[in-house]
Structure formats: structure tokens, C-alpha cells
Amino acid sequence: MGPSHPPFRTTKGLRLVGGVRRWLTAAAGALALTGGLVAVGPQASAAGLTQVTSFGSNPGNLSMHTYVPDGLPAGAPLVVALHGCTQSASDYYEKSGWPKFADSYDFALVFPQTTSANNSNSCFNWFEKGDSTRGQGEALSIKQMVDKAVSLYGSDTRRVYITGLSAGAGMTANMLAAYPDVFAGGSIDSGLPAYCATALSAAYTCMYSPPNKTPAQWGDLVRSAAPAGTTSWPRVAIWQGTADTTVKPANADELRDQWTDVWGIGQTPSRTRSLSGGTTLSEYDDTSGRPAVQVYSISGMAHGLAVDPGSGPEQCGTAGTYYLDTICSSYHTARFWGLDGAGDGGGQTPGGLPAPTGLALTGTTDTTATLTWGAVSGAASYNVYRDGTKVGTTTSAGYTDTGLATGSTYAYTVAAVDAAGAVGTVSSSVTATTTGYTPTCYTASNYDHVASGRAYQSGGYAYATGSGQAMGLWNTFTTHTLKQTAPGYYVVADSGCSA
């Protein structure tokens, strides 16, 4: 995608040309080194990507491209995916991993595309007020694409979502603020708070040193952009690498503050857990106990989209420059939105049965958690969800979840299902922490520790994941022993390590 910088339009900011060119040269050199460390996999075929014309007045001068799985039923969800700078719709289609889940979960994809005619580096103009305000410019063109896709494919207007990388992520944040009546959820990947900048002069400040506004000040920017009287807001996932030097990690904190304030919830996470690829997930629940905001922080990841090439159910994408082999962000985002059919995605309408009450944890072991709840009249069965994903079905008002990791924390919710299969309202959540944890020791080079997610690198140095302890130069010659004392937490144990 190239850097997420907001390069000038050909008709604007001419006095900044020299400075921008110098910055581009430096940034391109640094980011080329980052891309060089990632193996490039085979590209997927773009045969399924189709351009759609005549989708409206198109004031933003964008082009519309779609991917629709064979036999897609009417009433399926719709996902809009915005590429980054120097990228294209086909590039994002081939490498982001989204088509895999469109096929698996049955939803349509729209890939808007901008060009150098709009922006010299083919970035979406997230920093231009005339392109990011409701009813104007590129923002309106994207809204018109949604309308066109709904008419062509019969998409469910309650389940429309938007995601984007870098400059596309900046535009995604703005679209969620300007059109909360259109989008049930969004994912901001290596991006910026909504309306952090409304002119080129402020864009670089947002990228490198975002304003330290209060949550209420950030939230006000969203509320002022949305239609008057808006009370329903999209569920937002935020993805950020800790080693991103193009869009500084502080932007993820400001994004969290912005969207938790919009939802009227605090900035203290409801739960935090470790995922693969050195990823830490923090979730912020709404008043019903469902995650409204998620923040994924990826240790040592530079600027780009998190992918995890492979054929496994949780893998996706193709590694390359600005597509970084860590974890499949598209998979986790799709689950957060409920596109996998778990019944907990924002925008889905539950059946008529009420939420079960009295959900309680009655016991845990190293690998199990046992739950009970009050029976719901008219329920034929109950769905049990772990961290928003359906993990089981039972006809009784109790369930034991098995195969869990030791010393780990999980959040559970339950929904009643009637005889016709309609899923009712999801219950409030309860947290379970399994007992025990068996420490494990690893001796390897700093390079291998980072590659395995036990450590991360920043500025050419390695640091232990979790503890952040310094390990020296990030290379194949420096060797350390790391002891894993909890999921996703490692300490240096060179003086002796007993598991």
C-alpha cells in the first residue's frame, strides 16, 4: 500500500511538494526494508473481481469492484474493503484474505478504488473535509456503492460493514462516523481516529503524534459528523502494530477513546487475552455484555495489514509489502461482526426469545469452565458463545466448555433458541479463568524468538513479549532463554530455567 501518508492532490498543497517528496523518499526507504523481511507468497487469481459501473453520481471519482460468491442468497451481509496508498482494488482482493471468508460465510464484497487522478499516491483522501463528510466527495461515492450493491445482490441493509488499511482505515473511521445508519460495524487497520485531520496541514501530526484529546472530545467529532439524533453506533475493531513508524501506535489509543466514548462505556477493558502472532486483544463491552470495541495490538508488527497465509480455518491472505505475516485480521474481524453465523455480530436482529438471566460460572479446572443459567420459557435449546464465537449447543440450562488453555481468561454469553431455530437475545457475559499454568522454556536466537512470537523487535533490538525485557540486538547471533510464565508472557531466564 505504500505509506499511509496523505500525499497532496495535484491541485492542492503545491508549496509542500518539496517537503512531501523528501518525506516520501525517507519513508519509502524505511518501509521497503520492512517489506523485504516478509516472504511474498503466490497471488490469488483476480478472476472473480468484477467492475461495476453507473453506481451513482460518483462525486469522488472512484471506481467500484465487487466479489460475489457463487449462489449467494438474498439477505446476505455486505463488506466494503478500502485499500491503502499505492494499492488497488485487485491488490487488496488478492492479498487481504477477505474473499476466503466471503466464500465460507456467504457475504458480498465491495472494493472501492481511487487513483492518482484523485491523489498522487492513490490514497483515499481521509484528511480532506470535502471527501470525508457525509454527502460529499469520496464518502458519498462509497455510500452510493453500498446502495448499488444492495440493489444488485439483495444485501441485508442491517448487516453492512466497512474495513480499510492505512489511508483506507482513516477513511473507514470517517465513514463510520458519517454513516452510522449505514454500517453495523467497522475495522480500522493501522489507521487514525475519525476526523483527526480535515486538512493536509494536520494530517502528518495525526500520523506521527496524534492530538491527546479527551475521550469526550474525540467522541464529539463522531457525534457532530453523524446525523442529528443518532443513538445506534457501529461496533469497531482497531488493529495496530507496536512497531509501526508510519501511523504511530498512539493512534490506536485515541481510536479506543473515541469509540468507547461514543458507546458511552469506559476505557478500561472488560477483558484482555492473548492470540497468535504476538497479538493482545482488549475488549470493551456494551451494557448488554457484548463487545462494542475491540483493540488488537500486535507486538513488533510494522505498518500494514495483519495476514496469516495458509489453508487453516483461521488463516488467510498473502504476505508481502504492507501485508504482514502475523495473524489473520480478516478472520477475527469477520467473527467479531458475527459473519461466521455465531449470532453475536453487530446489526443482526435476534429472535423473539429473551436473554437468559442468571448466567454464572460454577467451576473451572485447568482446561474446563462450567456454566449455569436460568431456563427461558419456549426455548428448545441454547447456544453458548465463548469470546463471541459459538462453541456449543445444549438443551439444558447448563454447559461445560472443554479443551481450554490453562491460566487463561474467557468471556461467555448464552442465547435461547426456539423450536424454529430462531436465536434470541444474547445474555450478559460472565468471565471464567482456568486454573494452573505450566511454564515452558525456550532457548533460541533473538531472530527465532521474534519469528515465533516469543519476542518482538523495535529499532533493531529484541524485547520479550509480555514483559518487554530487553534482549539485545535482533539477529541470529544473540541467544537467550525465555520462560513463558503465562499465555503471551515471557521473561528472560538465562541464569536458569526450570519448567
Specify whether the CB–CB gap between 131 and 139 falls below 8 A. Answer: yes
pLDDT of residue 62: 98
CA distance linking residue 164 with residue 172, whole number of Å: 6
For the segment 169-198, the average pLDDT, to the nearest whole number, is: 97
Measured in degrees and rounded to the nearest 5, phi and psi for residue 224 equal: -75, -25
CA distance linking residue 446 with residue 116, whole number of Å: 41
For the segment 210-234, the average pLDDT, to the nearest whole number, is: 95
Q: Where residue 342 falls among pLDDT bands split at 50, 70, 90?
A: low
**Catalytic residue positions, numbered:** 166
pLDDT of residue 90: 95
pLDDT of residue 428: 82
For the segment 282-301, the average pLDDT, to the nearest whole number, is: 93
Query: Is it the case that residue 193 has pLDDT exceeding 70?
Result: yes
pLDDT of residue 499: 64
Query: Is it the case that residue 376 has pLDDT exceeding 60?
Result: yes
Q: Which residues of 52-82 are buried (b: 16+ CB within 10 A; e: fewer)?
A: eeebeebbbebbbbbbbbeebeeebbbbbbb
Percent of the chain whose predicted confidence (pLDDT) is above 90 = 69
pLDDT of residue 425: 81
Specify whether the CB–CB gap between 342 and 413 falls below 8 A. Answer: no
For the segment 275-298, the average pLDDT, to the nearest whole number, is: 92
Type of residue at 229: G
Looking at every residue in the chain, the average pLDDT score rounds to 86
CA distance linking residue 257 with residue 417, whole number of Å: 35
Torsion of CA 407, 413, 416, 417, to 10 degrees: -80
Q: Which of 244-258, 264-278, 362-376, 405-419 has the lowest mean pLDDT?
A: 405-419
pLDDT of residue 16: 32
CA distance linking residue 98 with residue 109, whole number of Å: 8
Provide DSSP, 382-433.
EEEEETTEEEEEESSSEEEE-SPPTT-EEEEEEEEE-TT--EEEEPPPEEEE
Query: Is it the case that residue 186 has pLDDT exceeding 60?
Result: yes
Query: Is it the case that residue 264 has pLDDT exceeding 80?
Result: yes
Convert 309-371 into a string of H (helix), E (strand) and C (coil).
Answer: CCCCCCCECCCECCEEECCCHHHHHHHHCCCCCCCCCCCCCCCCCCCCCCCEEEEECCCCEEE
For the segment 384-390, the average pLDDT, to the nearest whole number, is: 82
Length of the chain: 499
